[in-house]
């Protein structure tokens, strides 16, 4: 793997992720720090310059949130990351960790792609959708969320929170990590 950090996917770590995924709550998940190679992460951040190609997703559950799913506006490096996420080598690892067969990266990035929230922005507690807006037979079974930040400060309050199924109790709170 060129962009995904291979040190995170040796046999011992994969076995650890399998157990974490199986026994995590409030739903199956695993957190992998430094998922991308540092150089790649820094280069991918260059794709986060807001322009008229970004979609404003500031709706009922979002505020100051924008997304870009059209890969023609990503640089070569960023596109290579998405290709690597869909490579058989990586998908086989995900299948081992999750026990889910027939995984693939949605080429349209429906509900995915690059997303960013700006100062004062928010994303309310929610459950990601399972259905696809166009391909009705497709189901979203897992999400890969990669957080990239430079100079992130705790007072920004941008932690990833995992809540119970009723959205009443926060069960996990993950702090964002900075890229050096």
Task: For residues 90-119, give the mean pLDDT.
Answer: 93
pLDDT at 88: 96
pLDDT at 177: 60
Residue 158 lies in a domain: no
Residue 103 lies in a domain: yes
What are the contacts of 161-169 at 24+ separation with CB within 8 A?
161/125, 162/26, 162/27, 162/29, 163/26, 163/125, 164/26, 165/26, 165/27, 167/125
Residue 110 lies in a domain: yes
pLDDT at 178: 55
pLDDT at 46: 94
C-alpha to C-alpha distance for 75 and 39, rounded to whole angstroms: 14
Diameter of the chain by CA atoms?
45
Residue 142 lies in a domain: yes
Tokens in use for 56? 């404003």
C-alpha to C-alpha distance for 171 and 25, rounded to whole angstroms: 8
pLDDT at 154: 81
Enter the pTM of the model. Answer: 0.90
pLDDT at 180: 45
Task: Check whether 179 has a pLDDT greater than 60.
Answer: no
Taking only the tens place, the pLDDT of each residue in 44-101 is 999 999 999 999 988 877 899 999 999 999 999 999 999 999 999 999 999 999 999 9
Of the CA atoms within 13 Å of residue 168, those in its CB half-sphere come to: 2
Peptide bond between residue 18 and the one before it cis (omega within 30 degrees of 0)? no
Taking only the tens place, the pLDDT of each residue in 127-177 is 888 888 889 899 889 999 998 988 888 888 888 899 998 899 999 998 766
Residue 160 lies in a domain: no
How many domains does the structure of the chain reveal?
1
Residue 179 lies in a domain: no
Residue 171 lies in a domain: no
pLDDT at 12: 97
160-163 and 114-123 as β-strands: parallel, antiparallel, unpaired?
unpaired
C-alpha to C-alpha distance for 57 and 68, rounded to whole angstroms: 10
Note down the domain range covering 31. Answer: 6-150
Torsional sign, CA 96, 99, 102, 107: negative
Residue 124 lies in a domain: yes
């Amino acid at each position: 793997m060129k962009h995904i950090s291979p040190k995170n996917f040796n046999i011992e770590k994969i076995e650890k992720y399998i157990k974490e995924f199986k026994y995590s709550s409030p739903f199956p998940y695993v957190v992998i720090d430094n998922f991308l190679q540092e150089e790649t992460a820094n280069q991918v951040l260059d794709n986060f310059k807001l322009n008229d190609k970004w979609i404003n997703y500031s709706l009922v559950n979002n505020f100051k949130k924008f997304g870009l799913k059209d890969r023609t506006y990503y640089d070569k490096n960023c596109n290579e990351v998405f290709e690597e996420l869909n490579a058989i080598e990586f998908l086989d690892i995900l299948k081992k960790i999750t026990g889910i067969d027939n995984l693939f990266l949605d080429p349209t990035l429906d509900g995915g792609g690059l997303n960013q929230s700006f100062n004062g922005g928010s994303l309310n507690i929610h459950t990601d959708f399972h259905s696809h807006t166009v391909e009705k037979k497709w189901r979203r079974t897992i999400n890969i969320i990669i957080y990239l930040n430079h100079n992130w400060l705790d007072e920004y309050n941008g932690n990833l929170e995992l809540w119970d199924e009723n959205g009443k109790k926060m069960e996990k709170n993950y702090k964002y990590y900075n890229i050096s």
